[in-house]
Structure 1
Amino acid sequence: MADPDDNEAEATGLQHYSGETTRDSNEENMNDSFTLTSRHRGRSDTISSIVSGYEIMKEHMDKEKFIYLILASLLLYVGFVSAFAPRTSLSRDFRRFHSSRLTNAEVYRIYLNSLQQENKAKEHVYRYAGCMSNGLSDSSAFKYTLNEFLDMGYKPKVEEYYPWTGELVDTDVSLLKNSEVVYRASMIEDKIKGDPASHASRRQKGFHQYSKNGDVTARYVFCNYGSLNDYKLLLKKNIDIEDKIHIVRSGKLLPGLKVKNAELYGASSVIIYKDPFDDGKVTEKNGFLPYPYGPARNPSYIERDSVNYFSDTPGDPTTPGYSSKDPDTEHMPSVGRVPRIPSVPMSAKDVQPILAKLNGRGFQIGPGSDITDFESFTGPSSSIDKIHLHNELTYKIKEISSIEVNIPGIFTEGEIIIGAHRDSLASSSAGDANSGSAILLEIARGMSKLLKHGWKPLRPIKLISWDGERSGLLGSTDYAEAHTAILRRRALVYLNLDNAVSGTNFHCKANPLLQDVIYEAAKLTEFNGHEDRSLYDHWKYTSNATISLLDGLSSYASFQYHLGVPAAHFQFNSNDTSGAIYHRNSIFDSPAWLEKFTNSDYKLHNTMAMFVGLTTLMLSENELTRFNTHNYLKKTYDWYVGWYSNLSSAFPQDYELKNLAKRVLDLLKVATWEDSVQFDQQNNLLYKECREALPVWAFYKKIKSYIKLQRSNSKSKQIDQLFITHRGLKDREWMKYSLLAPSKLQGSVGEVLPGLHEGLVDIDRNEVIQWLTILLSQFSNIRYLLQ
């Protein structure tokens, strides 16, 4: 049933129209003097009548009775208005008081229509292509983003930061036999038919951002994925790995942690390559043709990456915990946050002649390899077979810029932030980062249409284009550290667009608080231009609409793990067993690849822009912050139960520890199954109250609802921040969120209750006790907050 308020503007217009009069054409030609005389005579008669009426009342009624009559008339008028005035809701009143007559439905409709009628994503992707190199966006990408915002009518704000970062000079790897060069790797992808990006003049060799400069000649050894378990196995098998060049395959853990482990076990330098075996079903060995002829990985693919330890401390490694916003910012030594040995990436094609020399030496390790003529032997190489590795970057303080668009809201707090980075480690980068930047601009375009209709969101919205993200999350981390106090006070949610379209299957990582709004927005979003199929339908079919844990690989890290701002990350990717293999951080991440294997019409970009925009509007346009606290705490309860069962085996005779762990469990159980359920139920009732149309005389009900609304919103905003600790995780003080963090050993996956988990893994009683005490306090606070 429609809210009477929704028709108010229309009703007013109809009344105005019915009150208008049309002059007869003959009257328009009447003599001006006659008209003026008539008007003057009418005005004089009216004044005379009023004066006469007043004199008669004065003569027959004393002053006191006259005042009573006036009061009675006013009371009668107020009663009449109260009885017959249109009913309004608190939700509608917020907009009326701020001169906004757009309903939620109208806001959604205008936004979606603007994107359905025109899709400029392809234009954006092509304009960004070729603008990036060395891990930072160049001036053309910056200018294009800035000018697009300006053309839409926004007043973007530019913030500069000054991190310490590297620019590639050269990388080189050669195979030596008796000190003579017998093979030299190309260190760059092949030029291939049908992909202009591979022929671009700005192509550069593969490199690792923050890799140590060096020139190394040594024997080499194959160390599988370079995990701690791999190294323990190598030592157990008495493989000589000291002072060798360690060759490791990508996957399982972040490149920086691979180099960190290799350094720990005495490597002189590291080579990281991508083994096609790890692509699953879609490989040349399984009969699939490589790109550009088919969906398998091109053998010359090189995966550029950053090797700073950003899963421990993201951002500029010389300004840990504070921003480099000032050009004169003090930069500390980077020791402990970047490797002390050089490393380079290589392609499967380039590394093949080197690995083949190891066959029959050492033992076979790992799950298998698709490198031709390589049987996964560890080596080390013979005394006459060595590698010469050269790595050279120029490190200096360099300016980077974030571009920020602010859309003020009726409320001053509860800010929704959407972020996407525009930098890349390779030229072209159609998937990562151009797809996210294109979608950010499309979201901005849709909202600019709303602003032209007089829209003002309830909550403020901020759109930010980051720089330096592929170099270890430089831009977003500097921003979060520069604005920590403001973000903790004002920010409600952070939504992330990183590598937004590199496949066809929808994937979501998000804080459990956001589950309901994400599902609702997905159900209202058309998938790929199909009116009869929603994004939720597609998501449900491909992955049962699963929302995964956040990890530590993108710009949301600063918001979720450092500030306690609930975050979500959205992608179309190909993490299945049949989709085309994505060429991340490579020259082959090009518009040609994107159009051939994802969507040539860029409708997936359009779908993502509609979905993220709707999610934002649903968070912004609702007076009540409708977080799902029960789902949030239920997930936490399930996580805790998992670790709780391990406590007995880790500390079998420690009854003090067991009692403390049981107290935490009991407290969390009550918070999950009683307090959160009651809080969510009350919020559902309050949501309905805010939309209930009430007569004027029931204004006191609106006041009560408004007080409850303010209280509930304040509580919802504090929920995640209650789990921010001052001390942070052990050896990772920057990570302050006690419920989730990037895995300490892998970095590429999320780890639940990380402080408690790490204490259990290390069988560190003091650490476990400390984290149980922290969780006991935090769960007590959440109970108090929700009551």
Structure 2
Amino acid sequence: MTDTDDALGDNESQPLLRPGRPRQNSVTSILARGRSNTISGLKTGYDTVKRHRVQFMYALMASVLLYVGFTLAFLPRTSLSRDFRRLHFGKLTHAETYRIFLESLQGENHAQQHLRAYTSERHLAGDENALKYTVDQLKKLGFSPKLEKYYPWLNTPVDAGMSLWINDEMTFESNMIEDFLKEDPSSSGPNPVPAFHGYSANGDITARFVYCNYGKLEDYEYLKSRGVDLEGHIHVIRYDTMFRGLKVKNAESNGASAVILYTDTFDDGNVTESNGFKAYPFGPARNPSGFQRGSVEYFTESPGDPTTPGFASKSPNTKRMSPLGRVPGIPSIPMSQRDIGKILPHLNSRGCAFDVQGNVEGFEYYSGPSDEQVKVRVFNKQDYGVKEITDVFVEIPGILHGSTIIIGNHRDSWTVGGAGDPNSGSSVLLEVARGLSELVKKGWKPLRTIQLVSWDGEEPAMLGSTEYGENYAAKLQRQVLAYFNLDTTIAGSQFKCESNPLLAQLLIESASLTRFAGNPGQSLLDVWNDQSNAQIGILGSGTDFAVFQNHLGIPSANFKFVADRKHDAVYQYHTNYDTYTWMEKFVDPDYHLHNTMAIFTGMSALTLSENELVAFQSHDYVKQIQYNYAKWHGLLNQTFRAGVYLRDSYIQEKAQDLSQLIAHVEGKVSPKFDSETAALRKLVTRDYPWYKFPKKIAIYFKLSATNSKLKQLDRLFVTDRGLKDRGWMKHSIFGPDKQLGYLGDVLPGLHEAVSDGNVQETLEWLHILTKQMKLVQELLET
């Protein structure tokens, strides 16, 4: 063993230590020392922060203020208009919204596809095929249509006829259907619709007949003054602009046992065979074998389901009332000019002659009645019952709640065709939907909600729209700002617009933004000015705006292209020739008018939707009231002559007070309000720096108050009592003419009272109108 070995052996049980590393640097000692240093450091740091706390806080605040100041210095000026969209994450400016909509419709036009699809087969009220096509097309555009069903009582045709009997032998019988034309496929297709009237009474009447001209009250007064026997006879009446249901009503009240309504081409204007034009399909004149179908329910007095007046037929088991008083009690049928020509010549030299002539061959327009041995049989069999109809809704929710714009069209037709009425409008509605869907795909959200509606059952009595309006009356009055109607949208070259005056300037502006028939150098407004000096007519009744304007007080408009009666092809209204063939051959071969109307309709909705301040003009409205009141005031002064009776002086005094009130609102109040509104519109779009944020808040509250006033204005003229004998028509300013139906009347209640010389009614309407005009004055002045 060496010394070294001894050393190793002696230290075998001792830990092996590395040379140069002292024992005090153990792990434990290192950790202990580190903890001590950390604590010391923290104490030192805390003491430092504590000593310099005030300086630190000042430095932090200075940094924040510097950042905020820098940010505010470069913060862009903004308007309330732009703030609306930023707060709701709007992605498109006004200009971009209009551009995308216009480009989508100007680049493509699907109207022909839609029109041909709708008019390929019969589609009476409740038709499933037209419903399916509408829903499918809306789904393809990315929408989720909502269906609303109602269950009105109405008729389906079974059989109807007219025959001539001489000495108890039948010498002629109408086949109650138009000639089939090989040149027009859909007029000669399977399952045609025979001629009939909606809501006509069933019956089988054989009697002598009498010609009653247009069936107006003055016609019947003339016949009675000449001693013409009317009682128990079949009344033959010619169509014109007067609503057919009122013709039947007048006939029934004058003793008719049945009614035949026929079309006389004399009333078509210049474009007739007698003036050298060829008849359809070889020319633009009316085909003499056409039957004008249509409803005879008194829907210009009370539209909708006649068994549920004033409330909706929401289920098949809805409690119903008798329809008496809302539908005729005698049968009626339509007739062609050709077939009526087989019977009317038998009246020649009998009774009295009418000054108005016509084109029925061999007939000299005598009243009759016919000889005792010359009679007509009218046979009418209709199947009446509760039927399901379906309205289709698409809604694009807006940023502002409680403000909706509705665009509506009905899709049901009397025939296989219905190209003009209603499916030109159906095609336009789907094209508007396509344009709006392109906007939605780009992230657009309208400022106000836009709703597109396809109504069902309009032809029998505006069933779909009326039942819906009655069902949601309170909600619609709260939320709907305006209603735009599309019906018989394309039937000629003459642009015609009927509207509540509140919408007049908006429609003119929209027309200026609409390119006419694909011509980049010509606007719809240019054409409108050339044709009628951009005249806007008065709304009457007879289509789906009635429940909105006449019943609920929602400003409405109805626009279309109509035949000009000079050069355009005659519209084959409600006949089997209202087909896509007729449309493409004589009216709109390239569907440019359809495209124009789609753009105009969409631009009207967008102009109303996308402007923060509602684009209504109160002065246009009051000016219309003043103009028409002046007419009825003059008539009143003639009817109730001051000094004759004390009551007459009192009536004239009240009428003069109302005249002065209207003149004040028209001359001072409404112009001042519109001027303030125009100034407010500029403030809404003006840019302000950030530090004027309180001013924008004030503008916002003023904007909300003004919009509320404009929305209320038309509602102020809705009455609880309605018009006399027409309680459903509740608007005191606008309503259908009582005697003509389709045409509009202004101040109808007062007009009728004065015309009738009814003292009590006249005083009541003077009181109602005075109260309403004071409310208008208060609304616009506060």
User: What is the aligned counterpart of 1:553 among 542, 552, 560?
Assistant: 542
Matched, 1:571 2:565: no
Give the corresponding residue for 1:780: 774
Cα distance in 2 for partners of 1:338, 1:107 equals: 47
Q: Which amino acid aligns with 1:115?
A: L
Q: Choose 115-124 or 657-666, whichever is displaced more.
A: 657-666
| Aligned ranges 1:328-339 → 2 under 5 Å | 328-339=317-328
CA contact (8 A) 1:282 1:288 kept: yes
Give the corresponding residue for 1:661: 655
Matched, 1:101 2:95: no
Give the corresponding residue for 2:729: 735
Give the corresponding residue for 2:22: none
Give the corresponding residue for 2:57: 67
Give the corresponding residue for 2:120: 130
| Cα distance per residue 1:128-147 (max 9 Å; x no partner) | 013434x4151110000011
Cα distance in 2 for partners of 1:553, 1:491 equals: 21
Cα distance in 1 for partners of 2:61, 2:258 equals: 92
Give the corresponding residue for 2:154: 165
CA contact (8 A) 1:224 1:366 kept: no
Give the corresponding residue for 1:482: 471
3-state DSSP class of the match of 1:412? strand
Q: CA deviation at 1:201?
A: 1.2
CA contact (8 A) 1:82 1:697 kept: no
Cα distance in 2 for partners of 1:57, 1:542 equals: 91
Give the corresponding residue for 1:433: 422
Give the corresponding residue for 2:27: none
Q: CA deviation at 1:55?
A: 5.9
Q: Which amino acid aligns with 1:777?
A: K
Q: CA deviation at 1:729?
A: 0.7
Q: Which amino acid aligns with 1:196?
A: P
| Aligned ranges 1:489-500 → 2 under 5 Å | 489-500=478-489
Q: CA deviation at 1:514?
A: 0.4
Check 1:463–1:237 CA distance in 2 against 1; reply closer, same or farther (3 A cut).
same
Give the corresponding residue for 1:770: 764
Give the corresponding residue for 1:36: none
TM-score (norm 1): 0.92
Q: Which amino acid aligns with 2:716?
A: L
Give the corresponding residue for 2:572: 583
Matched, 1:604 2:598: no
Cα distance in 2 for partners of 1:438, 1:723 equals: 34
Q: Which amino acid aligns with 1:568?
A: A
CA contact (8 A) 1:563 1:721 kept: yes
Q: CA deviation at 1:580?
A: 0.8
CA contact (8 A) 2:271 2:565 kept: no
CA contact (8 A) 1:314 1:474 kept: yes
| Aligned ranges 1:26-65 → 2 under 5 Å | 59=49, 62-65=52-55
Matched, 1:305 2:299: no
Q: CA deviation at 1:453?
A: 0.3
| Aligned ranges 1:716-727 → 2 under 5 Å | 716-727=710-721
Specify every segment of 5 or more residues in structure 2 that has no aligned partner in the other structure, as ranges: 1-40, 643-647
| Cα distance per residue 1:725-772 (max 9 Å; x no partner) | 011111111000000100111102111101101100110111011111
Give the corresponding residue for 2:264: 275
CA contact (8 A) 2:214 2:240 kept: yes
Q: CA deviation at 1:362?
A: 1.0
CA contact (8 A) 2:126 2:390 kept: no
Q: Which amino acid aligns with 2:763?
A: I
Q: Which amino acid aligns with 1:784?
A: E
Give the corresponding residue for 2:108: 118
Q: Which amino acid aligns with 1:110?
A: I
Q: CA deviation at 1:694?
A: 1.5
3-state DSSP class of the match of 1:605? helix
Q: Choose 190-199 or 546-555, whichever is displaced more.
A: 190-199
Q: CA deviation at 1:316?
A: 0.7
Check 1:366–1:69 CA distance in 2 against 1; reply closer, same or farther (3 A cut).
farther
Cα distance in 2 for partners of 1:430, 1:204 equals: 15
Cα distance in 2 for partners of 1:770, 1:65 equals: 82
Check 1:178–1:673 CA distance in 2 against 1; reply closer, same or farther (3 A cut).
same
Matched, 1:239 2:233: no
Matched, 1:620 2:609: yes
| Aligned ranges 1:679-758 → 2 under 5 Å | 679-758=673-752
| Cα distance per residue 1:154-209 (max 9 Å; x no partner) | 11100000000000001110000111100111211111241112211111221000
Q: Which amino acid aligns with 2:769?
A: L
Matched, 1:760 2:754: yes
| Aligned ranges 1:203-218 → 2 under 5 Å | 203-218=192-207
Aligned length: 735
Cα distance in 2 for partners of 1:329, 1:291 equals: 45
CA contact (8 A) 1:131 1:138 kept: no
3-state DSSP class of the match of 1:684? helix
Q: CA deviation at 1:62?
A: 3.7
User: What is the aligned counterpart of 2:351 among 346, 349, 362?
Assistant: 362
Q: Which amino acid aligns with 1:355?
A: L
CA contact (8 A) 1:225 1:252 kept: no
Give the corresponding residue for 1:413: 402
CA contact (8 A) 2:122 2:192 kept: no
Q: CA deviation at 1:65?
A: 4.2
Q: CA deviation at 1:59?
A: 4.7
Give the corresponding residue for 2:247: 258
CA contact (8 A) 1:417 1:462 kept: yes
CA contact (8 A) 1:348 1:371 kept: yes
Q: CA deviation at 1:73?
A: 3.2
Check 1:643–1:566 CA distance in 2 against 1; reply closer, same or farther (3 A cut).
same
Give the corresponding residue for 2:305: 316
Matched, 1:403 2:403: no
Cα distance in 2 for partners of 1:626, 1:111 equals: 20
Q: Which amino acid aligns with 2:614?
A: T
Cα distance in 2 for partners of 1:71, 1:283 equals: 90
CA contact (8 A) 1:131 1:137 kept: no
| Cα distance per residue 1:316-352 (max 9 Å; x no partner) | 1111000101222111110000000000000000100
| Cα distance per residue 1:92-150 (max 9 Å; x no partner) | 111111111200110000011111111110000011013434x4151110000011111
Give the corresponding residue for 2:82: 92
Matched, 1:673 2:663: no
User: What is the aligned counterpart of 1:219 among 208, 224, 229?
Assistant: 208
| Cα distance per residue 1:329-379 (max 9 Å; x no partner) | 111110000000000000000100100111111111141111111110111
4+ residue stretches of structure 1 with deviation over 4 A?
Answer: 54-61
Cα distance in 2 for partners of 1:305, 1:472 equals: 10
Check 1:283–1:79 CA distance in 2 against 1; reply closer, same or farther (3 A cut).
same
3-state DSSP class of the match of 1:697? helix
| Cα distance per residue 1:594-626 (max 9 Å; x no partner) | 011111111111111111001000100111102
Give the corresponding residue for 2:636: 647
CA contact (8 A) 2:187 2:417 kept: no
| Cα distance per residue 1:414-458 (max 9 Å; x no partner) | 200000000011111111111111111111111111000000000
Cα distance in 2 for partners of 1:516, 1:338 equals: 39
Q: Which amino acid aligns with 1:680?
A: D
Q: CA deviation at 1:685?
A: 1.1
CA contact (8 A) 2:111 2:431 kept: yes
Q: Which amino acid aligns with 1:651?
A: F
3-state DSSP class of the match of 2:401? coil
TM-score (norm 2): 0.92
| Cα distance per residue 1:678-737 (max 9 Å; x no partner) | 111111111111111122222111111111110011001000000000111111110000
3-state DSSP class of the match of 2:194? coil
Cα distance in 2 for partners of 1:293, 1:165 equals: 37
Matched, 1:290 2:279: yes
Q: Which amino acid aligns with 2:771?
A: S
Specify every segment of 5 or more residues in structure 1 that has no aligned partner in the other structure, as ranges: 1-50
Cα distance in 2 for partners of 1:532, 1:662 equals: 50
Give the corresponding residue for 1:189: 178
Cα distance in 1 for partners of 2:702, 2:236 equals: 61
Q: Choose 289-298 or 159-168, whichever is displaced more.
A: 289-298
* Identical columns (%): 47
